[in-house]
Amino acid sequence: MMERAEIKSRREVDFLVREFYSQVRKHELLGPVFNAIVQDWEHHLEHLSDFWEMILLQTGPGRGKFNPTQVHREVDRQMDHSITQVHFGNWLELWFSTVDRFFEGEIAEFAKEHARRMAHMLFMRIWESRPTQ
């Protein structure tokens, strides 16, 4: 087994994001959603690396560039309001396993905690914005 590293720079953040999304794209539940929505994977991965660099290292493009709630509400709308807690649970399982496979330390633990809080918040924001039946 390879030695796990600490997340210290954009290089590690970008590696984490790319490894994670390579699994997401192949995942039986998540792959069809992401592959239907994301048109330009290279741009998407750069954008997500910017986001996670800002969150984990407090460096990079800065706040105000990202609106995850709006993006996830739009994805849910495009997927006919079919995004469920299972999607977020699978996303978190993959994120945690990717972080744990390659990284250790305080920032790696924060990456998992922040993802857990973010997944909960985003699902609640999606749910709140759905049209009433």
| Average predicted confidence (pLDDT) for the chain | 94
Q: Which of 117, 113, 120 is nearest to 88 (CA)?
A: 120
Residues linked to residue 5 through DSSP beta bridges, in sequence order: 103
List, in order of start, the domains of the chain with CATH numbers.
10-129 (1.10.490.10)
Q: Angle, to 10 degrees, between the axis of helix 41-57 and the axis of helix 10-26? A: 130
Give tens-digit pLDDT for 13-55. Answer: 999 999 999 999 999 999 999 999 999 999 999 999 999 999 9
